[in-house]
Amino acid sequence: MAVTQGHGNPHWTRDETLLALDLYLTLKGQIPSSKASEILDLSILLRSLPYHAEAAKQPTFRNPAGVGFKLMNLRQVATGKGLGNVSNMDRQIWKEYAERPQEVHKLAAAIRAGIALAGSEQLPDVEQELPEGRLLTALHVRRERNPKVRKLLLDDRRSAGLRCEICDLARPDLDEPLQEAMFEAHHLVPLAEAGERKTKLADLALLCACCHRLLHRAMVSKTRWIGLIEARAIIVPD
């Protein structure tokens, strides 16, 4: 049996496990040698994730043998046969996505595109990791915090009065800088699609900080993307 020498490496993240599941499903559960091109390519990709810059300095981090072990872990979850040392993340991702291979493939493609999009820039810290994983969540947060995007949205909504598009909160009695401080930009495009298009006003919603946080929490809790209509039903029920 191959040895990963991976003790002390960071635990596999959600988006890393999604990438591994995408390969496992593509291979239809047939796991090749750690020298196979598919295994080598995934190892290189995992080592290029921007939030693993320090860990990737170690040759044992997500090495091909370790990638092979991860695929065997997924096979054990899928079939009950093979390695028994599987993680809760393996089980959770399999439970959520095993019957949704097309969605897994789409997410994996978005994560790959996100690695290129992230570049060498420092990504923001992620307080609430969305179902699509840490990298796409960080890119989502970076996009929403872009001051140019937020200003564009505020300028567009100002003439009609600044108002939360979920709870309808408005404070016209406040000075304009205080009014603006209440609101944040929320990107309406699902994370798996956001990297494929330039942000437009139609892609944005103006939310109060409270509703924005609650919406993100609801997506984390339900492990799926939630639109504004459903968000209103959850946060402001009749």
pLDDT tens digit sequence for 224-237:
899 999 999 999 97
The model's pTM: 0.82
pLDDT for the residue numbered 66: 94
- In this prediction, residues 201-226 reach a mean pLDDT of 93
Instruction: Measure CA 164 to chain center.
Output: 25
- Packing angle of the helix pair 101-118, 88-97 (nearest 10 deg): 120
- For 134, the enclosing helix (H) or strand (E) is helix 134-145
DSSP type of residue 172: T
pLDDT for the residue numbered 85: 77
Model confidence at 2, pLDDT cuts 50, 70, 90, reads very low
Yes or no: say if 170 and 164 are a contact pair by the CB < 8 Å rule: yes
Yes or no: say if 64 and 35 are a contact pair by the CB < 8 Å rule: yes
Yes or no: say if 18 and 133 are a contact pair by the CB < 8 Å rule: yes
pLDDT of 54 > 60? The answer is yes
- In this prediction, residues 195-203 reach a mean pLDDT of 77
